Amino acid sequence: MRYVLGLDIGIASCGWAVINQEKERIEDLGVRIFDKAENPKDGKSLATPRRDARSTRRTLRRKKHRMQRIKILLVKQGLLSKIELNHLYESATEVDVWNLRLDALERKLYPKEFAKILIHLAKRRGFKSNRKETTLSENGQILESISENQHIMEQQNYRTVGEMILKDKKFENHKRNKNGTYIGTVTRQQLQDEIQMIFNTQRLYKNNYATAEFENSYLEIWASQRPYASKDQIEKMIGYCTLEQKEKRAPKASWSFQYFVALQTINNLRLISKFRIEELSFEEKKQIMNLALEKSIVKYIDIRKLLSVPNEFQFNSLSYSADTVDITVESRKCIELKEYHSINKVYKQIYEKNALNLLPKDYDTIAYGLTIFKDDKDILEYLQNKYVNAKGKPISNFANKTYDDTFIQALLNLNFTKMGHLSFKALRNIIPFLEEGLSYDKACEKAGYNFKGTSYTEKTKYLPVIPQNTNPVVHRALSQTRKVINAIIKKYGSPNAIHIETARELSKTFQERKEIDSMYQDNSKKNEHAICKLKELGNINPSGINIVKFKLWNEQDGRCMYSGKYIEPHRLFEEGYTEVDHILPYSRSLDDSYNNKTLTLGTENQRKGNKTPYEYMGNTSIWNDFETRVQSNKKITKKKQQKLLLQHFSYAREQEFIERNLNDTRYATIYLSFLIQQHLIFSESSRKKKVHTVSGIITSHLRSRWGFNKDRKEGHIHHALDAVIVAVTSDHMIQRVTKYYKLKELNRNLQAKRMPFPEPWEGFRLELEARISPNTQQYLKGFRFKNYADVNLSEIKPIFVSRMPKRSITGELHQETIRKFIGYNEKGKVLTAIKTKLEDIPFDANGDFPMYGKETDLYTYNAIKERFLSHKKDKRKSFQEPLYKPTKSGGIGPLIKSIKIIDTRTIVNPVNQGKGVVYNSKIARTDVFKKDEKYYLIPIYTIDLMKNILPQKAITAGKGYEDWTTIDPSFTFLFSLFPNDLIQIVPSKNKTIKARTTVSKKEVLLPSLTGYFKGVHSGTAGIIVETHDGSVIANVGSKQLLLFEKYQVDVLGHYTKIKEEKRIGMAI
């Protein structure tokens, strides 16, 4: 069969369709659904919690090791014996260590006091930002606190941090950071200054222990810190060259890559007049390159002057509004060797004009060192040609040359981070041909490469494993799509062609292109103006974020958009003082456009968090002021005003923004098309274009004209519909549609003739409607399509959505929060207590709440309840003002900040030698047993893996864990269920399953349910099941079911019943 495969690829779906070209019919279609490889709450990588936990463990481990070394040093110096060290804090009359830190400046310390201070200072060492990390981003709240504390010290003449924290009113209630605040944050240097002052003072008081040798030994341990990341760690994260697959990519800042980009730009330049198109001569190209070496930015107007280009000619890469030269248009940047000039500037500052020029390999070496290494010491050693890696192996720099220390120190002020897409090896092979004036594709071919992506490779019937991509969302989408492609090839053979929906826009009209180009030009001018202004202010090489900040500062008349407070211009680029905020949170919109950005004070942005402006300020008095401020600012575009004043940003609206702004899917489609062309064997045919990328705008338009509304809320079937439209959207189809509109526009009278909108073949729309219907066979039989004459219609099944199973057991073993164990309730369930802020208390409809210790503290309970009810049960408003506990005499007692709330759990895990308990994280697997026609479910948690004991207790509704049913050999094991396993359930006789639709929440009654298992409730044994298309969900009691079966689903949605399964152990 000669067929076309259509693919509609999303970040969590792959719709597919097989179009039989011989019979002109939809042969098959379906949908593969998978979870996005990101945190659905904030869009972060799924590896973030694991990485953060690993980082925390590493930090704690290193802190523990540091404290051990400090204590060993104290014993070695004779301040304490080992026995005294073990009993150092057992004295009932112990002096507060904060007082001791002040005493250390005013009297001679006893050995034990000195030891306590040094141990105390070693526990928390203050904030120190990594050089590379600071230039990219920083926590404004931390830096603000540091700045504030520094100001307090200077204003109050405190000698040390310890004196400030002990004496200043700011630290009366809390001396340490608490509840997400950073009141006690100081710099590491400030604490080091205190240590040195203490040692110096003790030496003045003739303390024999405070020797310079001891001070140096202590500070060496105290200040020890591993680098931000090693060269080897950074290189592991760098992708591979698109042409040399075994070579790592070169830095964008390297001379080789910058030269490569410049050559490409120059070789693509053409001069266009009304009558002809002229290419640049070899000599002219050389002149442009020489100009780029002399001038940091080469504009098109510079090239016109350099080459004396007549006014009748225009540059091919620019859009002009007329046939004349437009200075504004030609003021755009053409070539910029930014990093080359940055390095060159430093070099000339050090060696003046008498020094020899650096060689290309010198620029490559410096760029590599400043991009790959994240620690100044490593950069220094690499450029000195003395670097030794973690394995003790000396690594020579590219130039195998030792650079002067003075030059290196000056270079440390530069910071390069990005990588190109080609390796040094590929660049060396391609550049000679680019220097000859060849285009990139021709240069690649001359060098033996395929310019579309990879080296020539042997093609196979099935698509090979997708190379690992640094973007996990893209990688999962590609990997799942590969499975779909291979499954279809296995069933139908090699395709004639594959159509993929791409992100390329449908060709714009001239007016639309001009408007877009005008917008780009305007933005370019604003950027250049900002750069010039920044240079005037002393910011010689402004970063991209600083340019944005400056533009926004001007746009907002120098004020914070949210608070309206004035932003001091000299502090504009101070880290943490100001921040560029996404108006609609990026994690909820994926909108990184300028129209979604605003300049705020760092503190204001921290408070706003993951909210829209209205969610942050709406229903408050400051909203009116904000609204007036936005509307009165004529510099703000209409689109930005709309986003600033948006009041309803629902989940559906979020999805709309994400889908519109998502780049991952677009990249995945293009990248996949290259992989398919490189690796896949197609069926023999005269068709030259085997992979066809289709614009989403086209498919959207065709879908609408053919009468199909894409309602994502109604389930996943629409992905298959889109795939069919993608599959039939060929060049020929587009030509027919174009011709239709052209005829219609030229002859309006044709409208009266009701000229039909083109279809791929007669009856296509009705056929597609039948194929996406749950009653496919009925529709096909009713319409009697001629192209189905040779098909047994009873064998055609409705679309069944296939879902990626989740059978791997990963994630945290238990929740992080440690709770107080109280006891058990009358049902045997565990009672716990957790400290809870007032605004987080779970009030019921009457204002009551499960407070721990209520019986002995009714004053607190009643005060909280009365405050809540008096503010119309609005928790946020209720506790904006401080709440004090009333005394028996009616006076004002202590401030109430939080209380302990009682919670109930079936299963908990003891921690800290039984001092506390933690809740389980998630149920990774559910084992199903049967006895006496009843079903029993055993939940297996992630933590059970660590225990390495297979649980034998089945959920018993309403009972504590100890009272659950114990599974013994009299029970029959049926199967294990993981999330997204397909099951079929039938309720007991004369009963129905109560379910609800996922969109309208309407209740429906079902005689049976076949769907994907989503999870089980450990308190009720109820199982959550969702239909294959996601349209209906149900929570069904499992014990009294008449039928409970498990099915295996393949990638294309074909499913079969599992006959027998053995219970597997914990090694999964």
pLDDT digits (tens, 9 = 90+) for 777-793: 999 988 889 999 899 99
DSSP string, 328-358: HHHTSEEEE-HHHHHHHHHHHHHHTTTSPPP
Query: Which pLDDT value is given to residue 454?
Result: 47
What is the rounded distance in angstroms from the CA atom of residue 466 to the CA atom of residue 671? 10
The structure tokens listed for 8 are: 């509609």
What are the CA-CA distances from residue 156 to residues 100, 165, 635 (Å)?
20, 12, 43
Question: Residue 920: what residue type?
Answer: N
DSSP string, 225-244: ---S--HHHHHHHSPBPSSS
Query: Which pLDDT value is given to residue 975?
Result: 95
Pairing relation of β-strands 497-502 and 3-9?
A: parallel
Answer yes or no: are the C-beta atoms of 457 and 679 closer than 8 Å.
Answer: yes
DSSP state of 595: G
What are the CA-CA distances from residue 384 to residues 341, 397, 403, 741 (Å)?
22, 8, 6, 68
Query: Which pLDDT value is given to residue 592?
Result: 65
DSSP state of 615: H
Confidence of residue 353 (pLDDT cuts 50, 70, 90): low
Q: Which residue has the higher pLDDT, 657 or 852?
A: 852
Positive or negative, the CA dihedral 752, 757, 758, 764 is negative
What is the rounded distance in angstroms from the CA atom of residue 852 to the CA atom of residue 716? 46
Query: Which pLDDT value is given to residue 515?
Result: 55
Mapped onto helix, strand or coil, the DSSP state of residue 283 is: helix
Domains of the chain: 3-41+492-504+666-803 (3.30.420), 79-208 (no CATH), 243-426 (no CATH), 539-661 (no CATH), 820-911 (no CATH), 922-1057 (no CATH)
What are the CA-CA distances from residue 559 to residues 257, 382, 527, 564, 568 (Å)?
40, 45, 20, 5, 9
**Residue indicated by tokens 């379910």:** 995
Question: Residue 1032: what residue type?
Answer: V
Greatest mean pLDDT among 171-175, 394-398, 918-922 lies in 394-398
DSSP string, 782-820: HHT-GGGTTS-GGGPPPP--EE-------S-SB-S--BE
* 133: nearest Cα among 124, 146, 142, 123: 142
Burial of 930 (0-12, 13-18, 19+ CB in 10 A): middle
Per-residue pLDDT for 521 more than 50? yes
Write out the H or E segment, with its range, that includes residue 11.
none
Average pLDDT estimate for 615-642: 87
Torsion of CA 81, 86, 87, 88, to 10 degrees: 70
Q: Which residue has the higher pLDDT, 68 or 675?
A: 68
What is the rounded distance in angstroms from the CA atom of residue 1036 to the CA atom of residue 1033? 10
Query: Which pLDDT value is given to residue 969?
Result: 94
Greatest mean pLDDT among 243-257, 494-508, 712-726 lies in 243-257
Query: Which pLDDT value is given to residue 227?
Result: 64
Query: Which pLDDT value is given to residue 514?
Result: 43
DSSP state of 159: S
Q: Which residue has the higher pLDDT, 468 or 1048?
A: 1048
Answer yes or no: are the C-beta atoms of 448 and 455 closer than 8 Å.
Answer: yes
* 918: nearest Cα among 905, 908, 928, 929: 908
Torsion of CA 484, 489, 492, 498, to 10 degrees: 80
Residues at the binding site for Mg(2+) are: 8, 501, 505, 719
* 30: nearest Cα among 1011, 714, 720: 720
Torsion of CA 720, 723, 727, 728, to 10 degrees: 70
What is the rounded distance in angstroms from the CA atom of residue 919 to the CA atom of residue 943? 10
Mapped onto helix, strand or coil, the DSSP state of residue 601 is: strand
pLDDT digits (tens, 9 = 90+) for 542-578: 877 788 888 999 999 999 999 999 999 888 888 889 9
Question: Which phi and psi (to 5°) does residue 930 adopt?
Answer: -140, 140
Q: What is the pTM of this model?
A: 0.65
What are the CA-CA distances from residue 1064 to residues 574, 597, 760 (Å)?
58, 52, 52
Q: What percent of the chain has pLDDT over 70?
A: 88
The structure tokens listed for 485 are: 């492609």
What is the rounded distance in angstroms from the CA atom of residue 772 to the CA atom of residue 760? 17
What is the rounded distance in angstroms from the CA atom of residue 428 to the CA atom of residue 421? 14
* Least confident stretch, 337-341, 389-393, 535-539, 766-770: 535-539
CB count within 10 Å of CB 650 equals 8
Q: Which residue has the higher pLDDT, 145 or 7?
A: 7
Query: Which pLDDT value is given to residue 322?
Result: 47
What are the CA-CA distances from residue 858 to residues 821, 851, 863, 888 (Å)?
22, 10, 8, 11
Query: Which pLDDT value is given to residue 507?
Result: 32
What is the rounded distance in angstroms from the CA atom of residue 612 to the CA atom of residue 617? 9
Q: Three-class SS string for 369-402? A: HHHHCCCHHHHHHHHCCCCECCCCCECCCCCCCC
What is the rounded distance in angstroms from the CA atom of residue 1017 to the CA atom of residue 923? 9
What are the CA-CA distances from residue 440 to residues 286, 334, 335, 425, 749 (Å)?
17, 17, 17, 16, 49
Per-residue pLDDT for 376 more than 90? no
Residues at the binding site are: 8, 501, 505, 719
Query: Which pLDDT value is given to residue 133?
Result: 45
Confidence of residue 586 (pLDDT cuts 50, 70, 90): low
Confidence of residue 2 (pLDDT cuts 50, 70, 90): very high
Query: Which pLDDT value is given to residue 39?
Result: 66
Query: Which pLDDT value is given to residue 135?
Result: 39
Mapped onto helix, strand or coil, the DSSP state of residue 934 is: strand
Confidence of residue 226 (pLDDT cuts 50, 70, 90): confident
The structure tokens listed for 872 are: 């119309």
Per-residue pLDDT for 508 more than 50? no
Query: Which pLDDT value is given to residue 174?
Result: 75
What are the CA-CA distances from residue 743 to residues 508, 736, 754 (Å)?
19, 11, 12
Query: Which pLDDT value is given to residue 457?
Result: 64
What are the CA-CA distances from residue 1030 to residues 33, 339, 480, 1002, 1064 (Å)?
10, 51, 19, 14, 30
Mapped onto helix, strand or coil, the DSSP state of residue 1013 is: strand
Q: Where are the beta strands (DSSP E) in 638-748?
A: 691-695
What is the rounded distance in angstroms from the CA atom of residue 142 to the CA atom of residue 602? 10
Q: What percent of the chain has pLDDT over 90?
A: 45
Cα R_g (the chain), whole angstroms: 35
Residues assigned a catalytic role: 8, 582
Query: Which pLDDT value is given to residue 653?
Result: 55
Average pLDDT estimate for 479-489: 95
Per-residue pLDDT for 753 more than 80? no
Spell out the residues 6+ positions from residue 267 whose beta carbon is closer than 8 angstroms to its own. Answer: 285, 434, 437, 438, 439, 440
Spell out the residues 6+ positions from residue 743 whose beta carbon is closer than 8 angstroms to its own. Answer: 750, 755
**Residue indicated by tokens 């007032």:** 838
Degrees, nearest 5: CA angle 232-135-383: 45
Answer yes or no: are the C-beta atoms of 202 and 100 closer than 8 Å.
Answer: no
Positive or negative, the CA dihedral 527, 530, 535, 541 is negative
Q: What is the mean pLDDT of the chain?
A: 85
Question: Residue 681: what residue type?
Answer: I
* Least confident stretch, 70-84, 195-209, 550-564, 1053-1067: 1053-1067
Find the helix packing angle between 338-351 and 255-268, rounded to 10°: 130
Query: Which pLDDT value is given to residue 932?
Result: 92
What are the CA-CA distances from residue 956 to residues 934, 965, 1023, 1036, 1039 (Å)?
12, 6, 13, 14, 9
* 715: nearest Cα among 1016, 444, 1000, 923: 1000
Confidence of residue 953 (pLDDT cuts 50, 70, 90): very high
pLDDT digits (tens, 9 = 90+) for 789-808: 899 998 999 999 999 988 87
Torsion of CA 664, 666, 671, 677, to 10 degrees: 150
For the chain, percent helix, then strand, then coil, each to nearest 5? Answer: 40, 20, 40
Q: Which residue has the higher pLDDT, 316 or 977?
A: 977
